[in-house]
C-alpha cells in the first residue's frame, strides 16, 4: 500500500541528527566507519561537537526581528547564508552521483562546495552541474611529492572555473585512523579517483600508498614504503613550509585565491597571513588527523584574534545545528562549512537530501537569529554568548 503524503512527511528527518541516523542505517558498515570515525581514541571528533554545548546563548529581545537576513559576501560573491560544504573524499560511496549531486544541491541553495581532490567525479563535471564558473566553487588540494602533477591539477581546476584553491596543511601523513588500519577501504569498480593520475594501472585495486604508510608497524617498514613511493611522488609532501609552499601555489594560478585549510593556532594564523594566504579555514580535519587537538570552535577564538579581519576566516568541524553556526559567527567566523551533514543528506536522498540538510541548517540559523535579536549577520556579536562561571553560579559574558 502506498504511503500517504502525511506519513511520508512524518518520516522526513527534521534535524541533522536524524539524517545521521538514517545514513547509519543505509550505508555499508565499512563506508559508515570511514566517514563517521576519527583518529585514535576519537577525542577530537567528540570534542568538536561537545565544545559547542559549553557556549550559552544570551538572547536580546524587543529588537524587531520581523525580517531576518542571513545573506553574506565572501570574495565578492553573495551567498544566501553563511554555510558551505567542506571537502570530503569519494562521495559516490555514499550515494547517487556523489560530488555531482552535492554540487547541484549547493548551487540550488545559493551556496558553494569545496571539491576534494580525492573526488569520484571529474572536477569539470562537478562545477558544470552547479552551473559553471558562476558557482564560485573551490578546489581542495593535497600537495604531493610530485609537484608537476600538482601543478597540472591546479591548472585544470582553474581552467574549469574554480575560484579558490584550498590547500590542506594538516596532513603531512595520515592520522592514526584505527578503523581504516583494521579494514582498509578500497574503491569498488568502476569507481575511481577521477582527478588523480597514477602510473600504476592497478593502483585503484589497492590501498593508496599514503594508506600503506599508515599501516607500517615499525620504522623499517615505513622507510621501505617511503622509498618505494619516492620515485612516483604520490605520497603527501611532508616537506611543506610557509615561506616556500604558498608562493609556489601562487605561481601555479593566475586567478584562484589561495586558502589555507587546517589552521588551529594563533601562531600559524599569523604565518598564513604574513605569507599571503587569502583566507583561512579553521579545521582539525573532522578529528581524523592528530587526535587530542582543540575543537575548531575553541581554536577559532585565537585564529580570529590573530587575523584581526585582514582575511576571511572560515570554520568547519562539529557543526550540526543552526545554533552552532550562530556561535561560530558570534566568535568572529565569516563563514561556516559542513562536511559529514552533507554526506548524511546525500545518503538519505542524493541531491534532494543535501538540499534538505542545507534547508534545516538555514532555518535553524534564521530562527536562532530571530530568537536572539539579530536581524542580520552583522548584529550577531560576541556578547550574545556566555560560559558557566567558574567562581560561582551564573553565566559569564564573553
Sheet containing 56-57, strands listed edge to edge, beginning at the edge strand earlier in sequence: 56-57, 385-388, 395-397
- Catalytic residue numbers read 285
Q: Determine contact, residues 123/115, Cβ cutoff 8 Å.
A: yes
- Calculate Rg over the CA atoms of the chain: 21
For residues 315 and 282, give the distance between their C-alpha atoms in angstroms, rounded to a whole number. Answer: 5
- Which residue bears the cell 573524499? 89
Distances from the Cα of 99 to the Cα of 191, 196, 225, 258, 302, angstroms: 12, 15, 31, 22, 33
What backbone torsions phi and psi does residue 316 show, to the nearest 5 degrees? -135, 170
CB-based burial, 277-295: b 16+ in 10 Å, e otherwise: bbbbbbbbbbbbbbbebbb
What's the angle, vertex CA 114, arms to CA 274 and CA 133, rounded to 5?
Answer: 100
DSSP 269-283: HHHHHHTT-SEEEE-
Question: Residue for cell digits 542571513?
Answer: 70
Q: What interhelical angle do 29-36 and 340-372 show, nearest 10? A: 50
169 in Cβ contact with 263 (< 8 Å): yes
Q: CA-based diameter of the chain, in Å?
A: 68
Q: How many helices (H) and strands (E) does the chain have?
A: 15, 13
CA 142 vs CA 154, 234, 271: distances in Å: 11, 10, 19
Enclosing H/E stretch for 38: none
Question: What is the distance, to the nearest Å, from the Cα of residue 200 to the centroid of all Cα atoms in its chain?
Answer: 30
Residues 35, 33: Cα–Cα separation, whole Å? 6
Amino acid at each position: 500500500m502506498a504511503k500517504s503524503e502525511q506519513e511520508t512527511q512524518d518520516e522526513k528527518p527534521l534535524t541533522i541528527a536524524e539524517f545521521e541516523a538514517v545514513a547509519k542505517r543505509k550505508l555499508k558498515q565499512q563506508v559508515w566507519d570511514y566517514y563517521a570515525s576519527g583518529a585514535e581514541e576519537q577525542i577530537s571528533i567528540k570534542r568538536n561537537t561537545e565544545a559547542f554545548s559549553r557556549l550559552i546563548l544570551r538572547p536580546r529581545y524587543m529588537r524587531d526581528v520581523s525580517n531576518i537576513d542571513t545573506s553574506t559576501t565572501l570574495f565578492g560573491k553573495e551567498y544566501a547564508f553563511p554555510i558551505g560544504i567542506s571537502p570530503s573524499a569519494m562521495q559516490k560511496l555514499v550515494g547517487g552521483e556523489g560530488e555531482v549531486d552535492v554540487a547541484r544541491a549547493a548551487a540550488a541553495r545559493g551556496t558553494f562546495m569545496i571539491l576534494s581532490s580525492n573526488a569520484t567525479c571529474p572536477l569539470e563535471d562537478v562545477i558544470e552541474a552547479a552551473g559553471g564558473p558562476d558557482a564560485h566553487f573551490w578546489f581542495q588540494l593535497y600537495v604531493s611529492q610530485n609537484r608537476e602533477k600538482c601543478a597540472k591539477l591546479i591548472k585544470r581546476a582553474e581552467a574549469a572555473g574554480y575560484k579558490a584553491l584550498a590547500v590542506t596543511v594538516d596532513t603531512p601523513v595520515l592520522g592514526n585512523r584505527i578503523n581504516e588500519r583494521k579494514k582498509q577501504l578500497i574503491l569498488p569498480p568502476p569507481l575511481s579517483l577521477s582527478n588523480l593520475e597514477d602510473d600504476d594501472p592497478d593502483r585503484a585495486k589497492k590501498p593508496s600508498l599514503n594508506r600503506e604508510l599508515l599501516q607500517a608497524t615499525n620504522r623499517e617498514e615505513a622507510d621501505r614504503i617511503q622509498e618505494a613511493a619516492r620515485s612516483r611522488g604520490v605520497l603527501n609532501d611532508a616537506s611543506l613550509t610557509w615561506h616556500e609552499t604558498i608562493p609556489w601555489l601562487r605561481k601555479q594560478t593566475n586567478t584562484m585565491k589561495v586558502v589555507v585549510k587546517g589552521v588551529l593556532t594563533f601562531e600559524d594564523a599569523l604565518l598564513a597571513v604574513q605569507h599571503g594566504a587569502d583566507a583561512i579555514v579553521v579545521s582539525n580535519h573532522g578529528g581524523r588527523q592528530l587526535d587530542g587537538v582543540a575543537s575548531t570552535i575553541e581554536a577559532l577564538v585565537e585564529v580570529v584574534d590573530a587575523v584581526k579581519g585582514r582575511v576571511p576566516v572560515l570554520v568547519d568541524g562539529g557543526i550540526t545545528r543552526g545554533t552552532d553556526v550562530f556561535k561560530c559567527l558570534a566568535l568572529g567566523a565569516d563563514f561556516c562549512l559542513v562536511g559529514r551533514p552533507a554526506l548524511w543528506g546525500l545518503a538519505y536522498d542524493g541531491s534532494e537530501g543535501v538540499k534538505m540538510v542545507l534547508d534545516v541548517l538555514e532555518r535553524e540559523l534564521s530562527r536562532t537569529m530571530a530568537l536572539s535579536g539579530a536581524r542580520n549577520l552583522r548584529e550577531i556579536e560576541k556578547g550574545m554568548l556566555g560560559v558557566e562561571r567558574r567562581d560561582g553560579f551564573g553565566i559569564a559574558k564573553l
